Structure 1
Amino acid sequence: MELKALVINCTLKKSSETSNTLALAKEVTKHFDNVDVEYITAADYSIGFGITHEAVDEQDQWPMLFEKVKAADIVLIASPIWLGEQSSIANLVIERLNGGSSLTNEKGQSIYYNKVGGAVVTGNEDGAKNVGSYLLYSLHRLGFTIPPNVDAYWVGEAGPGFSFIEANGEENEFTMEHAKMTAYNLMYFAKLLKSNPIPAERK
């Protein structure tokens, strides 16, 4: 059974720049087996403001990205920490996902049913659990299934300092173990839901 995973990197950088958040996301996805992974850097696209899945103006590229979300079995939202919070782009992505929450599948369920969601968080200060809780709750509230322990994170020392790559974050045993756990749990539940979709409500 092949799965499709979409990683939405919500760094404030373009994909032409080195992203510590993407580096940690790839520590998760390297454990995927038989999963087709696509990485998107949200800052590369023109994403309009609004709570809708449709284009808000002629420049809005969200509808194209939304098609990728709909085709994915696994959606991994990756965000850096800024002032203890998720990035502004992460907020924007969640708002646009919310814009599609009223759409339903053939069973009348949210189109996000039978998809699993996870989070990746990096930063140089505290806030990883706060950002993770925002991302995971938001995905859960929209209809995604959230398996246990799917919020891989890394934080450096307080204040300015080295980020994940420069700090050799891949040597952090806790973070690497959690990255592996995130991958395995996402795959397990994605396969489970693909084989056994959530049944329609019966009255």
Structure 2
Amino acid sequence: MTIPSSLGTAPRFDGLLAAFVNCTLKRSPEVSNTQGLIDRSVGLMRDAGVAVDEIRAVDHDIATGVYPDMTEHGWPSDEWPQLYGRIIAADILVLAGPIWLGDNSSVMKKVIERLYGCSSILNDRGQYAFYGRVGGCLLTGNEDGVKHCAMNILYSLQHLGYVIPPQADAGWIGEAGPGPSYLDEGSGGPENDFTNRNTTFMTYNLMHAAAMLKEAGGFPAYGNQRSEWDAGCRPDFANPDYR
């Protein structure tokens, strides 16, 4: 990508790790149109020095439920604990998926439910575990619903503790109704300037926000520590023990 001279040298983001979770309904090696859009963002990140971990959720045995490990609740197997380890290691999380009936895919819903199931886990500062990380989303389809799906995903991520930077979503939809998908020949998806612009802005805003949080040592830990609250140390309350 050409950087205008007025902007100076393109920034580097070495040392950051991003996790992309593809919530397509198609198992590998079937072609995923969502993966086509993911590849655009991943390419920008890797060019800027970010290490990238990619997960196609449907390829894994993810149990249904809202606990960190569903084998402790009657399920015979559950790969989520291993996937959670990869996700929590990342500074950036991008949830990506298709639009069906104007809404997020069932796989996307399951991933968000399992993320929510880990929301009681705390970091070493007593904050919820997802604090200090940034989140965004990518969506594809040939029907309306990009903004509706993005609202659901981004709300869910911020509720869990992720920081959502400006313009943290991007997507592509073709002509309303049956028609070509993003990677289909002649769809115009990969060449769409609106989608390419938003994907680029989203990618760089995620990297900028993650770099700022990392440099700051995470999200400030005052007034948001669950461990302190549970211990009775509550800011702005009549409690001299809070410090």
- Stretches of structure 2 that go unaligned for 5 or more consecutive residues are 1-13, 224-234, 236-243
Once residues 108 and 3 of structure 1 are traced to their aligned partners in structure 2, the CA distance between those partners, rounded to angstroms, is: 23
Q: Is 1:198 equivalent to 2:219 in the alignment?
A: yes
Deviation at 1:54, TM superposition (A): 1.4
Which among 40, 53, 56 is matched to residue 27 of structure 1? 40
Q: Which structure has more RCO (C-alpha within 8 Å, separation ≥ 6)?
A: 1
Higher Rg: 2
TM-score (structure 2 length as normaliser): 0.82
Which residue matches 1:152?
170
> What is residue 171 of structure 1 aligned with on the other side?
191
Residues 3-37 of structure 1 show CA distances to partners (whole Å, capped at 9, x for unaligned) of: 11110000000121101101101111211111111
**Is 1:142 equivalent to 2:134 in the alignment?**
no
Residue equivalent to 1:54: 69
TM-score for both structures, normalised by structure 1: 0.97
Give 4+ residue runs of structure 1 displaced > 3 Å after superposition. none
Among 89, 94, 101, the alignment partner of 1:71 is 89
Q: Are 2:146 and 2:171, in contact at CA under 8 Å, matched by a contact in 1? A: yes
Question: 1:26-45 counterparts in 2 under 5 A?
Answer: 26-32=39-45, 33-45=48-60
Distance 1:75 1:55 in 2: 22
Q: Does 1:99 align with 2:114?
A: no
1:187 correspondence with 2:200:
no
> For residues 89 and 121 of structure 1, what CA distance do their matches in structure 2 show?
13
Q: Is the 8 A contact 2:134 2:163 kept in 1?
A: yes
1:90-109 per-position Cα deviation (integer Å, ceiling 9, x unaligned):
00000000001011111110
Q: Quick one: distance in 1 between partners of 2:76 and 2:133?
A: 29
Paired letter, 1:160: P
Aligned residue for 1:184, secondary structure, equals: helix
Verify the 8 A CA contact 2:103 2:145 in the aligned structure 1: yes
Q: Which runs of 5+ in 1 are unaligned?
A: none
Contact 1:6 / 1:72 at 8 angstroms: preserved in 2? yes
CA contact (8 A) 1:151 1:178 kept: yes
- Would you say the 8 A contact 1:101–1:110 is kept in 2? yes
SS in 2 for 1:152: strand
Cα deviation for residue 176 of structure 1 reads: 0.1
For residue 177 of structure 1, what is the amino acid of its counterpart? R
The answer for the alignment partner of 1:112 in structure 2 is 130
Q: Determine the structure 2 residue equivalent to 1:4.
A: 17
Structure 1 CA distance, aligned partners of 2:52 and 2:93? 10
Q: CA RMSD in A?
A: 1.0
What CA distance in whole angstroms lies between the structure 1 residues aligned with 2:20 and 2:28? 13
| Count of residue pairs the alignment pairs up | 203
Q: 1:123: which partner in 2? A: 141
The 8 Å contact of residues 107 and 200 in structure 1, kept in 2 or not, is answered as yes
